[in-house]
Structure 1
């Protein structure tokens, strides 16, 4: 296979919410984008909606062999891998002292263990190619603050925040940059569903936005813009960083 000169990105969890917007943005930036998720129907629809040089590869990343297969298929189809966006995640809420062990494990399987495996598989491919690369982990503002009922989710994202700094140092000799974006409250289908379930959605939205210095909920495009920067050559000297995309919430 003749290697293309077009940069190639994998975006995990790209069938809904922030992942869809990240895929759109990287495609608009001129990258070949490989989307992955569990739903073939949604994945194919997203790929068709973006158009251009975008493909979908169905994968359940909690399958121990799936991350390696995803990277191998990307290399087979596109000939190279330059960017990994570790975005796939599941939400979790519940009183910490009552959370069943099975729920803890399931949350970490997707949010932490699968993301680590994807980083390893992509990092090995980038190291072998010898031209560096960019890995962007999507963490959360909850990796840095405590919120009742969110402890398990926070811990899974906090692990990825720590992994980001450690991996950045360890992979630097191969010019593989590892960074993170930490979104705050973002207007995704999951947020809309949560808001609609509140007794007074309008008052709840006003209260949530009022706690943010910029006085608004993030849009998925805000997060995608930060990912775009970290994935780009403009961030060639940035590694080990976490960019909060939270309207100033953590700065308070």
Structure 2
């Protein structure tokens, strides 16, 4: 029960990695306020408060922070698991699509950090941003997504330095390709789903995709006191993809 009596806000909680984080945090005893784009959680829990909404809308983020203050009081842990990926050659991407990628991945995280930071207790807090392996390397057709996730890394590092005097730690987990419903669906749209998956796995030194639980375990570590002297760090959970 490493998070017993710890209040946490988790975004992107309704699916994928965020859903796995919720499961881990429940198991460790945290009090949760959750948000995501879906109207409701696929796996509800009587003690969880879930507020659906768009984190790129500052009015909603302000309301989320107010609800966190009313429901939880202080917030010791914030996990930002939300995001949106659009694959397109850079020269073919529209301005509106590029703006949506930046808003959904970077500016929404800025808003969440800005509005939730004042709820950190004097004893400190841990904030974990979920970026991507593509925030650390360039890859075809992912340039704007890489820009947004790379910007998220820079945002977290800047916040880590700026808020260190308040004992607010800000770190980043950068997952590689993870077996989420979105990824599984993208495989199924290919002409040869099994062959496409094997090709993706062959690009990873460990030879397989991550599970959401493996990424959630890394996030849990950065949320817990065991990582109390870690801030401004980027932890790749990518099977070695960014190691070469």
The TM-score, its normalising length taken from structure 2, stands at 0.95
Specify every segment of 5 or more residues in structure 2 that has no aligned partner in the other structure, as ranges.
Answer: none
Q: How does 1:101-116 map to 2 (within 5 A)?
A: 101-116=95-110
Q: Within 1, Cα distance between the matches of 2:62 and 2:167?
A: 21
Cross-structure match for 1:30: 29
Contact 1:27 1:54 (8 Å CA) reproduced: no
TM-score (norm 1): 0.92
Counterpart Cα distance in 2 of 1:59 and 1:105: 18
The residue aligned with 2:115 is 121
For 1:53 and 1:31, the matched residues in 2 are separated by 10
1:194 aligned to which of 178, 186, 191 = 186
Query: What corresponds to 1:164 in structure 2?
Result: 156
- What is residue 58 of structure 1 aligned with on the other side? 52
Cα drift, residue 63 of structure 1: 1.3
Separation of aligned partners in 2, 1:168 and 1:240? 5
Unaligned 5+ segments in structure 1 are none
The alignment yields a C-alpha RMSD, in angstroms, of 1.3
The residue number in structure 2 matching 1:229 is 221
The reply on whether 1:220 has 2:212 as its aligned counterpart is yes
- Identify the range of structure 1 (110-119 vs 199-208) with the bigger mean alpha-carbon deviation: 199-208
- Asked if the contact 1:92–1:153 (Cα under 8 Å) also holds between the matched residues in 2, the reply is yes
Which range moves more in the overlay, 171-180 or 8-17? 8-17
Residue equivalent to 1:211? 203
User: Following TM superposition, by how much is the alpha carbon of 1:180 offset from its aligned partner in structure 2, in angstroms?
Assistant: 0.4
SS in 2 for 1:65: helix
Question: Where in structure 2 are the equivalents of 1:9-88 lying within 5 Å?
Answer: 9-41=8-40, 43=41, 45-46=42-43, 48=44, 51=45, 53-88=47-82
Per-residue Cα deviation, 1:159-184 (whole angstroms, up to 9, x for no partner): 00111111111100000000000000
1:147 and 1:105 mapped to 2: Cα distance?
Answer: 19
User: Partners of 2:86 and 2:96 in 1: how far apart?
Assistant: 12
CA offsets, 1:112-133, max 9 Å, x none?
Answer: 111101011111221xx31210
Q: Which runs of 4+ in 1 moved over 4 A?
A: none
Question: SS in structure 2 opposite 1:112?
Answer: helix
1:100 corresponds to: 94
Separation in 2 of the partners of 1:214 and 1:149? 24
8 A Cα contact 2:176 2:239, kept in partner: yes
The structural deviation recorded for 1:57 is 1.5
Report if aligned partners of 1:141, 1:183 keep a CA contact under 8 Å in 2.
yes
